[in-house]
Structure 1
């Protein structure tokens, strides 16, 4: 250990516990019983990119890449940065962004779909769609789409590689949870046979501001505001399919890798955005994700 923080989570033997979410042998129960930690990816004043653990208003820099942090082998580098002085980046760099659609009955109904009690609607977003907290959602030209809507969601981040994951072990593959806005060109998803175009524009995937470990994902309130007005107010307890089921189901289709993002679907209340708007998605026990629309 290069440095100890005498009051915080990074003191001596507690460091590894501050990063562990999916180490080998970790059970699903362990993942929701440990103390919650906020893991952030940020850029310092010299332009260098790091991961860190947030305590209060301070970031404690970690000397590791994401896969090592998720495996519980992280170490404190000895550098502290004020949270307000760091540029917050997208929290992970996923190999893929997996989205589950129509997992909330209300949202399925308002967009012309049906909540399926057997399996979800599945689509992918490109990594190029991802933007960080406080960054700008750029509306495409009007000749491409004229109805861009918000969708506030909870997303999980995978911590270890897995395929054909048993449902009863699924939560042990989760590193933590973050906030997601599944920005959607609604006119295109209603006319195209699949969702790639309507969901895949650059900046259509706000995510962050950090990943929170050690929380129970089954009763998280999701509140989305547009220019300060509440437009969505839902809870993960309303999902038609369980989170372990979703992880297990999609792992039968594709291998899940550390850092992959699985967005769990939106509650009802999705609505259009226009240039000049400010949209904030707040998820209980995780934080707020705010983006500007241009």
Structure 2
């Protein structure tokens, strides 16, 4: 099923996509919910980011070809870093190009949203803890990433984590096509089967060190081909079985 957050009369709602309509629910998808009789047209609906994470945990160099293009060794364990939670925007949200950076780049990624609290979970049990999957763009100020000792600032400008257009709750994430288009031109083209560590291994690894809560977001790495964006550009992340995430880059002030 496809779970969507959308705006209705100025408030955030949750629903499931049923053909060309959204069937609204009351409650929280990751705790308790019930279906309502309310339906809204999907066409023209303002879609919000499909989750509101308290924390965003990311994995670096999780595709061998991406590691090779940066001339780094494939990590012997998942290489973790974080993005601030306020980076999240939804489908059609604007990516703000910050004045502090002169090289902002796109990174198409598969996002995984946690369903319930997890700690010390074995890889084979991880699917029980996954709420769903979404398209993500791990936007990065590359010049700041290279100059700073830590990556937090370069990854955490407002709007630097577009997500959407919804959550796909029924999906095998281990072999999906993942693509990114910049102004209609294909720039990244990989498969999740090329990951060094698959999503189940990643979530299990993280849970051995820290507790993950319902709604938390895990970004699983980007294939080769990430590159610069400029104000006025349109960037589209497309993942098989999920859909397309579209965002425009605008100049910051």
Does the pair score TM above 0.5?
Answer: yes
TM-fit CA distance, 1:251:
0.8
Is the aligned partner of 1:54 residue 2:10? Answer: no
Hey, what's the Cα distance between the residues in 2 that align with 1:169 and 1:253? 16
Query: Post-superposition, which runs of at least 4 consecutive aligned residues in structure 1 deviate over 3 A?
Result: none
Q: SS of 1:170's equivalent?
A: helix
- TM (norm. structure 1) is 0.83
TM-fit CA distance, 1:109:
2.3
Relative to structure 2, which stretch is displaced further, 81-90 or 231-240?
81-90
- TM (norm. structure 2) is 0.96
Hey, what's the Cα distance between the residues in 2 that align with 1:234 and 1:185? 22
- Superposition CA RMSD, Å: 1.1
User: Greater helix share, 1 or 2?
Assistant: 1
Hey, what's the Cα distance between the residues in 1 that align with 2:248 and 2:141? 16
Q: SS of 1:63's equivalent?
A: strand
Hey, what's the Cα distance between the residues in 2 that align with 1:217 and 1:82? 29
2:152 to 179, 191, 196: 196
Hey, what's the Cα distance between the residues in 2 that align with 1:208 and 1:114? 31
Hey, what's the Cα distance between the residues in 2 that align with 1:57 and 1:114? 46
1:158-177 residue pairs with structure 2 within 5 A?
A: 158-177=114-133
1:11-90 residue pairs with structure 2 within 5 A?
A: 37-44=1-8, 46-68=9-31, 73-90=32-49
TM-fit CA distance, 1:214:
1.2
Aligned to 1:33: none
TM-fit CA distance, 1:112:
4.1
Contact 2:229–2:249 (8 Å) recurs in 1: yes
Hey, what's the Cα distance between the residues in 1 that align with 2:65 and 2:146? 17
Relative to structure 2, which stretch is displaced further, 245-254 or 149-158?
245-254
Is the aligned partner of 1:281 residue 2:237? Answer: yes
The one-character-per-residue Cα deviations of 1:47-104 (angstroms, maximum 9, x if unpaired) are 1211100011100000111322xxxx43111100001242110101111111111000
Is the aligned partner of 1:124 residue 2:87? Answer: no
Aligned residues: 250
User: Greater strand share, 1 or 2?
Assistant: 2
The one-character-per-residue Cα deviations of 1:175-232 (angstroms, maximum 9, x if unpaired) are 1100000001111212212210111111110001100011110111001000000000
Contact 1:66–1:92 (8 Å) recurs in 2: no
Contact 1:156–1:177 (8 Å) recurs in 2: yes
Aligned to 1:217: 173
Contact 1:66–1:259 (8 Å) recurs in 2: no
Hey, what's the Cα distance between the residues in 1 that align with 2:38 and 2:165? 20
Hey, what's the Cα distance between the residues in 1 that align with 2:132 and 2:6? 17
Hey, what's the Cα distance between the residues in 2 that align with 1:291 and 1:111? 26
Contact 2:231–2:249 (8 Å) recurs in 1: yes
Q: SS of 2:30's equivalent?
A: helix
Relative to structure 2, which stretch is displaced further, 101-110 or 268-277?
101-110
